[in-house]
Structure 1
Amino acid sequence: MGDPTTSAQQDKYVAVIDQEMVTDEVRDIALKYDPLNQTGQDEGFHLTDDGELHINDEVVIEEHKIVANKIPTDAIEIVQLPAERGELVHQFGDNGFRLYELPGPSEGRVVGLLGPNGVGKSTALGILSRSLKPNLGDAAADPGWDTIVREFRGTAVQTYLERLRDGTVRTAYKPQRIDRIHDQYDGTVGDLLGDRDERGVGDALLERLDLTALTDRRVDDVSGGELQRVAVAATLVADADTYLIDEPSSYLDVDQRLTVAQTIQEFTGDSVALVVDHDLITLDVVADSVHVVYGEPAGFGVVSRPLSTRRGINQFLDGYLRDENVRIREQAIDFLQDSTRPADRGTDAFEFPTLKTSFESFSLRVEPGTLRDGEVLGILGRNGLGKTTFAKLLAGVLTPDEGEIGTDVRVSYKPQYLQPAFEGTVEELFASALDVSSRTVETDLRQSFDLDSLSERTVADLSGGELQRVSIALALGRDAQLYLLDEPSAYLDAQQRTAFGATLRQFVTRENVYCFVIEHDLLLLDYVSDRAVVFEGDPGTRGIGRSPQPVHHGINRFLQTVGVTFRKDPTTGRPRANKPGSQKDREQKSANDYYVV
């Protein structure tokens, strides 16, 4: 491998071609303006026998950006790639996504993978689970396992690849998109775990993850947070050598995230465990070490060397990997404690009265409150206390038993669960639902959520993070006075959450609208909210939504109910969970300061 600190020849370029977006116009531009073709070398962009646009990786140069810039779509991207940064592990087709290096599995340790969406974290898990065989960069080749192992001789991953070659690795995998479990299993929670329990730990996991009461409930009938815990339990009951767990924190409240992180640590024991998560609090608790995965989403990804968890997270946020001398992001992700808020509110207000509703085994009461225009009200609390029910009451999806929501307010509602029912492309979806030429869509949404890169994609084929971006943009693009966003950060990476927070603040302030945000990411909720509604009670039985209060008071009150304290990281300012029973934890609890950030 080359020295990452050497010479200007280190940087090279690759072309990423989306063949589905290649039109006759794109082909003509690429062939005509290619700088190599113009010099008569005829080594640049060309058409294959199948009529596809192609260019060999080794001839791509910086000047090929001229071609990409002349094309009105994202059909061609010229990506600057650190050369000799590591071993090219896998490539998807000619000019397709490339993954460099692999994380090093380690027995008895939990290894975290941290990075933006689309840079190969799930691809790495696929290779380590043996569901994807690496091709070492030659999409047309099928190298033997001896060849693959030889390429990684002397690295931390060599021994693991030898075990993959020999077929002696048993893996258990928890997928990112837990909502798809409904399509794969229609029995009860107890049956699901019982069928998979090879270690005799099912009952212990049911109790540890607070799932005992759900054993007779059908998988189709459990909520998102419950389904996430069921998916984690169904993974950990398997008798495996390697546990691969993709985004275990989505839809979980803070208390549940910490419990799941501790459970993964406890139940993976001496086995290998790899965890992908965007929630830094979860990763901080669950991981013994971290690999930062960086690159160009959908273009390439590079897996860094292992770092201690704290150093890895902080260097990821800073955007600079010091040991490898790699700048992975132009700017740091700053953990601002307060967003810019207008000094004066408008005179218009949205009021909701005391609301009561009940179901067969659950009752909800929400105390009255008021929103001024241009204000965001954050909603937080443990799962199972009625936060989503409250949003549905406000949206008119449900009718309260007591209290009345005014019908003269136009409402836009983004639900908690994402269901890609639309048959068509993202562009067709937006054209059918919004005025795509409006200032909001063009200025706030297309750029902030990178919608142009998704425009030609079929909605049903989007990943969780992509579908979340589309769902948020759809909600904010509607002409409404009241916007309800239920768990908008699920599946978004750290950078996307920051961009969403800034966009939402600007949108609500400029448009003078009302906004409710249900969120478990405390930092995001703190950043976007003016005040907070805290839900308390007995999960699954009784919920009480308190009247709005200052956001920091609300977060502190919520953390009191779950017994978790947070401190500020001295380097980045990010909130870090204190270890239960530690001196810092005891000091903050004694002072009733559960959220010191």
Structure 2
Amino acid sequence: MTDPTDIQEQEYVAIIDQDEVTDEVRDIAVKYDPLNRSGREGFHVTDDGGLHIDDAVVMREHKLIEKKIPNDAIRIVPLPAETGQLVHQYGDNGFRLYELPMPEDEAVIGLLGRNGIGKSTALRVLAGEIIPNFGLEEDPDWDRAVDSFRGTTLQTHLEQLRNGDVTTATKRQRVEALVDEAAADETVRERLAACSNGTDGISDELDLTPLLDRRMGDLSGGERQRLEIATTLATDADLYLFDEPSSFLDVERRLSVARTIRDRITEMGAAAVVVEHDLATLDLLADGIYIAYGEPGDFGVVSQRLGSREGINQFLEGQLQQENVQIRKKSISFPGPRERSIPKKEGVLEYPDLEVGFEEFSLSVEGGTAHEGESIGIVGANALGKTTFAKLLAGGIEPDVGTVPDHATVSYKPQYIAPDGDETVRERFVKVADVRSQAFETQVSKPFDLETLFDRPLSALSGGELQRVAVALCLAREADMYLLDEPSAFLDVNRRVAVADQLRRFARKRDRPLLVIDHDLFLLNRVSDRLVVFDGESGTYGEATAPQPMREGMNDFLSSLGVTFRRDERTGRPRVNKPGSQLDRKQKRSGEYYYTG
């Protein structure tokens, strides 16, 4: 007799809703499990009365149990497998991409998924930079590509690429690395003047007018991002491709950039495809969404088209209903601002009111205390002094008024990460920690998946990999307090959730305060016990509050922007309200700017 675990074409996972598990469900699951019948352990009842089965042994035959139970307590769902039209493969046994998103005229289409899953490859195919090879060894050609998609909606687009009848404009992912020495002296005005479609009004829409005479080499990451978005939109094209347009932008500018892209694409009657990990931005941008799933580095599959809200919700829930595939074993949940357990422990760093002034900028900070084991989020627009505040606490800048106690050591992760030469990841970590210790293994290496990166040069890492290394380096140092500047940049949604959870867990386990500066409200919502809110006039002066409870902090921050968020009924994720809508007006009247309920 063949062991039912020996032959398995596809992996499955059991989704068990313990609230729906009754005595009848337990009896059916245990009695009819084919593993239990063959003497192996399958479904079983735990000591606390729950129903359980190890993921490694779930198989197709368990769907019999799903059919027999009288409710939805158990679902047997396949995990991602290679399926659909193989579009492109990188060499023998290399990464394989299946299916493609379809651009739509006068619409913005979102592409959402983990890093390393083929999203950038899909954009390059749509841009005509890669001719699909369909896994074949011979040289690819556009005629074969057109024939392979004949009868589908993609056929017309590929025909236009083949015939040169479609032009594309692409905003690349790593904007901080796009300016070389030759372009460093070029001004913003000169860069915009070279665009083929004119720049009427776009400088004002993207707040570039004050920067027109500034050198490219002197721009911050956020300023460069806005410029690259502007030059992309000001290029005469039929299809616009944006790879992570929100990186380095503050919350207000992320939302305004999203509206600018939508309005411009609609006015031009063009099509756009956007890869984005900030869900609030993507929700505002996209008319429809394709989910990319699979195994990073091995294969990626592009799903069928979904509506914006439905696509994001199914991605968060981890199951694509049309494909009947489980892309994540657990759903991603979002705690509400009242759902906090703040450690009531001693203060580690108590700082007084602080003031510091520079030639063109000044910052004032209301005094506060960072406690053992708590995570404090820091939020506000760019150029209000958040990084200056971090440097004040870290001892990198001396205040003009007030004194930061020097008895607390601070480990600091900067906003921008510059890899040095051919130094490997391992060589960098050896300088700050004992990489052979159990503490390093359990608190740093495993949580951030560093083992596969250790022998690679820092200069060869992707943006997301480099970010993980930088966060882990910060936590690897011995310090009294940890301060991280924009840890979410270049990380996909899965990684942002994982990093937020690891940061919060690290603070609690080490009994150290942890401060996080970021513009992703989802990450801040997940990691923070309290918030420091920055206000003021960007580039002129900034004012920082003392740490305050999450609910008050979020309302304080969003009220300064005039933006309200509601909570999605299904997933609990924050969603931007349409300005002037009934719900927007209602929440503003009640002072509840950061979702209700």
The TM tier, using the shorter chain, reads: 0.7 to 0.9
1:168 to 165, 168, 171: 165
Residue 199 of structure 1 corresponds to: 197
Contact 1:339-1:505 at 8 Å conserved across structures: no
SS of aligned partner of 1:172: strand
Contact 1:105-1:156 at 8 Å conserved across structures: no
2:235 to 226, 235, 238: 238
Aligned length: 523
Give, in angstroms, the shift of residue 424 of structure 1. Answer: 2.5
CA distance in 2, matches of 1:158, 1:344: 58
Contact 1:339-1:528 at 8 Å conserved across structures: no
Contact 1:320-1:328 at 8 Å conserved across structures: yes
CA distance in 2, matches of 1:90, 1:12: 24
SS of aligned partner of 1:534: strand
Contact 2:578-2:584 at 8 Å conserved across structures: yes
Q: Mark the CA change 1:264 to 1:343 in structure 2 (over 3 Å): closer, same or farther.
A: closer
The amino acid that maps onto 1:215 is L
Q: Where do 1:346-495 residues align within 5 Å?
A: 346-495=345-494
Q: Mark the CA change 1:396 to 1:141 in structure 2 (over 3 Å): closer, same or farther.
A: farther
CA distance in 1, matches of 2:508, 2:79: 37
Contact 1:339-1:527 at 8 Å conserved across structures: no
CA distance in 2, matches of 1:297, 1:82: 12
CA distance in 2, matches of 1:341, 1:554: 13
Contact 1:338-1:527 at 8 Å conserved across structures: no
Residue 125 of structure 1 corresponds to: 123
Q: What stretches of structure 1 of length at least 5 have no aligned partner? A: 1-7, 14-61, 63-78
CA distance in 1, matches of 2:153, 2:103: 8
* Identical residues among aligned pairs (%): 52
The amino acid that maps onto 1:141 is E
- RMSD over equivalenced CA pairs, Å: 2.1
Residue 274 of structure 2 corresponds to: 275
The amino acid that maps onto 2:494 is Q
1:525 is the counterpart of 2:524: yes
2:249 to 240, 252, 257: 252
CA distance in 2, matches of 1:166, 1:110: 24
CA distance in 1, matches of 2:554, 2:338: 16
Give, in angstroms, the shift of residue 117 of structure 1. Answer: 0.6
CA distance in 2, matches of 1:434, 1:339: 37
Contact 1:532-1:550 at 8 Å conserved across structures: yes
CA distance in 1, matches of 2:252, 2:340: 29
Residue 23 of structure 2 corresponds to: none
Residue 37 of structure 1 corresponds to: none
Residue 223 of structure 1 corresponds to: 220
Contact 1:107-1:272 at 8 Å conserved across structures: yes
Residue 91 of structure 1 corresponds to: 89
The amino acid that maps onto 1:96 is G
CA distance in 1, matches of 2:171, 2:343: 48
CA distance in 1, matches of 2:188, 2:294: 39
Give, in angstroms, the shift of residue 344 of structure 1. Answer: 4.8
1:207-262 CA deviation, whole Å, 9 max, x = no partner? 01112111111122222222211111111111111111000111212211111111
Contact 1:449-1:473 at 8 Å conserved across structures: yes
Residue 24 of structure 2 corresponds to: none
CA distance in 2, matches of 1:364, 1:348: 24
The amino acid that maps onto 1:89 is V
CA distance in 2, matches of 1:255, 1:277: 16
CA distance in 2, matches of 1:450, 1:250: 23
SS of aligned partner of 1:349: strand
1:264 is the counterpart of 2:228: no
Q: Where do 1:546-565 residues align within 5 Å?
A: 546-565=545-564
Give, in angstroms, the shift of residue 12 of structure 1. Answer: 9.3
Q: Which runs of 4+ in 1 moved over 4 A?
A: 338-344
Q: Where do 1:36-55 residues align within 5 Å?
A: none
Give, in angstroms, the shift of residue 401 of structure 1. Answer: 2.4
CA distance in 2, matches of 1:558, 1:422: 40
SS of aligned partner of 2:344: coil
Which TM-score applies when normalising by structure 1? 0.84
Contact 1:522-1:555 at 8 Å conserved across structures: no
Contact 2:81-2:294 at 8 Å conserved across structures: no
Residue 317 of structure 2 corresponds to: 318
Contact 1:537-1:543 at 8 Å conserved across structures: yes
Residue 75 of structure 1 corresponds to: none
The amino acid that maps onto 1:504 is L
CA distance in 2, matches of 1:383, 1:519: 10
SS of aligned partner of 2:88: strand
CA distance in 2, matches of 1:478, 1:490: 21
Residue 30 of structure 1 corresponds to: none
CA distance in 2, matches of 1:277, 1:333: 17
CA distance in 1, matches of 2:147, 2:431: 53
SS of aligned partner of 1:302: strand
The amino acid that maps onto 2:287 is D
Give, in angstroms, the shift of residue 342 of structure 1. Answer: 5.9
The amino acid that maps onto 1:136 is F
Q: Mark the CA change 1:203 to 1:415 in structure 2 (over 3 Å): closer, same or farther.
A: farther
The amino acid that maps onto 2:201 is A
SS of aligned partner of 1:476: helix
Contact 1:385-1:535 at 8 Å conserved across structures: yes
The amino acid that maps onto 1:464 is G
Give, in angstroms, the shift of residue 475 of structure 1. Answer: 0.4
CA distance in 1, matches of 2:372, 2:300: 43
SS of aligned partner of 1:540: coil
The amino acid that maps onto 2:203 is L
Contact 1:526-1:552 at 8 Å conserved across structures: no
Bigger shift: residues 173-182 or 340-349: 340-349
Give, in angstroms, the shift of residue 570 of structure 1. Answer: 0.6
Residue 152 of structure 2 corresponds to: 155
Q: Mark the CA change 1:344 to 1:457 in structure 2 (over 3 Å): closer, same or farther.
A: closer
CA distance in 2, matches of 1:365, 1:191: 36
CA distance in 2, matches of 1:494, 1:503: 14
Q: Where do 1:507-546 residues align within 5 Å?
A: 507-546=506-545
The amino acid that maps onto 1:295 is G
Contact 2:337-2:550 at 8 Å conserved across structures: no
Give, in angstroms, the shift of residue 562 of structure 1. Answer: 0.5
Contact 1:440-1:477 at 8 Å conserved across structures: no
Contact 1:10-1:82 at 8 Å conserved across structures: no
CA distance in 1, matches of 2:234, 2:343: 55
Give, in angstroms, the shift of residue 10 of structure 1. Answer: 6.1
1:115 is the counterpart of 2:91: no
CA distance in 1, matches of 2:229, 2:108: 15
SS of aligned partner of 1:335: coil
Give, in angstroms, the shift of residue 322 of structure 1. Answer: 0.4
Q: Mark the CA change 1:391 to 1:106 in structure 2 (over 3 Å): closer, same or farther.
A: same
